[in-house]
C-alpha cells in the first residue's frame, strides 16, 4: 500500500512539475515570439462561441431549479416565497456561475483541446513543428491559453444572466412572486463585490482548464488509446480541481472582503 501511495505521489508530482514547466515556457515564448492572432481568434470561437449554447442551457435550468427549491422551502417555513431572487442571484453569481461554466467548458472545449493536441502528439506532428522551427507552446498552447482566459469570464457573465432569467421565470409563473419583487431582491442586497467574487474565480478556472488540457495533450503517449485516456484524465482533473480550488478561492476572496 505504501509503495502504491508513493508511486501515485511521484506521478502527481511529475505531472505537476510538467505543467509548471509548460507554464514557464508560455512566459518565455510570449515575450520572445510573435503572437499567433489567427489561432487565438479561431480557438476563441471553438472554446467560447461554440460552448455558449450548452452553458446557457445549463445555467437556465440551474436557476430554475434553485428558484423552485428555494421558493418551496421558504414557503413551507414562512408561508410566503420571499427572497427567492436574492438566493438565486447570490448562489449563481458568487458560486454556481463560475463553477458550472468551468465544468461545462472543461467537458466540452477542454476535452476537444486535449484530444486535438494529443492526436498531434501521437502522430508526431509536434515533432514536425520542431523540425520546421516552430515551438508547439508558441503555436498551440499560447493561443488556447489566452482564448480560455478571454472567453470563460464572458461565458460566466452570460451564465449568471441566463440563470437569473431562469429563476425569474419560475418565481413569477410557478411561485407567484411579482417580477418587481424578484428584481428588487437582487438590486437591494447585491453589490459589485459579489459580482467580482465570481468573476475573478472564472479567470482562475480558465487558467486551470487551459493548463491541464494543454499539458495532458502535449504529454499524450500510446496512440489512439492514449488520446482517450488523456482526454478523460484532463476532464476529470479539471472538474475535481475546480471544485477543490473553489473552496480556497472563496476563503481567500472573502478574507479580502470580496
| pLDDT given for residue 17 in this prediction | 76
Cα dihedral 212→214→216→219 (10° resolution): -140
Structure letter (DSSP) for residue 255: H
| pLDDT given for residue 105 in this prediction | 94
Classified as helix, coil or strand, 133 is coil
Tens place of pLDDT for every residue, the chain, 258 residues? 677 677 667 766 777 777 777 777 777 777 777 778 888 999 999 999 999 999 999 999 999 999 999 988 888 887 778 888 899 999 999 999 999 999 999 999 999 999 999 998 888 888 787 777 777 888 888 899 999 999 999 999 999 999 999 999 999 998 888 889 999 988 888 889 999 999 999 999 999 999 999 989 888 888 888 888 999 999 999 999 999 999 999 999 999 888
Q: How many CB atoms lie within 10 A of CB 140?
A: 24
All residues at 6 or more sequence positions from 197 whose CB lies less than 8 Å from its CB, including other chains = 93, 94, 250, 253, 258
Amino acid at each position: 500500500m505504501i509503495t502504491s501511495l508513493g508511486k501515485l505521489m511521484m506521478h502527481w508530482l511529475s505531472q505537476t512539475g510538467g505543467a509548471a514547466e509548460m507554464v514557464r515556457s508560455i512566459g518565455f515564448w510570449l515575450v520572445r515570439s510573435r503572437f499567433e492572432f489567427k489561432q487565438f481568434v479561431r480557438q476563441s470561437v471553438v472554446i467560447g462561441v461554440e460552448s455558449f449554447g450548452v452553458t446557457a442551457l445549463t445555467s437556465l435550468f440551474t436557476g430554475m431549479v434553485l428558484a423552485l427549491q428555494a421558493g418551496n422551502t421558504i414557503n413551507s417555513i414562512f408561508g410566503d416565497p420571499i427572497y427567492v431572487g436574492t438566493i438565486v442571484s447570490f448562489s449563481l453569481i458568487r458560486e454556481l456561475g463560475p463553477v458550472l461554466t468551468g465544468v461545462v467548458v472543461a467537458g466540452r472545449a477542454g476535452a476537444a483541446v486535449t484530444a486535438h493536441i494529443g492526436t498531434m502528439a501521437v502522430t508526431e506532428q509536434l515533432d514536425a513543428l520542431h523540425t520546421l522551427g516552430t515551438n508547439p507552446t508558441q503555436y498551440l498552447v499560447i493561443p488556447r491559453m489566452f482564448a480560455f482566459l478571454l472567453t470563460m469570464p464572458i461565458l460566466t457573465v452570460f451564465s449568471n444572466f441566463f440563470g437569473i432569467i431562469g429563476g425569474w421565470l419560475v418565481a413569477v409563473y410557478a411561485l407567484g412572486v411579482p417580477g418587481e419583487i424578484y428584481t428588487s431582491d437582487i438590486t437591494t442586497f447585491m453589490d459589485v463585490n459579489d459580482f467580482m467574487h465570481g468573476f475573478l474565480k472564472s479567470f482562475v478556472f480558465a487558467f486551470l482548464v487551459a493548463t491541464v488540457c494543454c499539458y495532458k495533450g502535449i504529454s499524450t503517449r500510446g496512440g489512439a488509446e492514449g488520446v482517450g485516456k488523456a482526454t478523460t484524465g484532463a476532464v476529470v482533473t479539471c472538474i475535481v480541481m475546480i471544485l477543490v480550488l473553489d473552496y480556497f478561492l472563496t476563503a481567500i476572496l472573502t478574507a479580502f472582503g470580496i
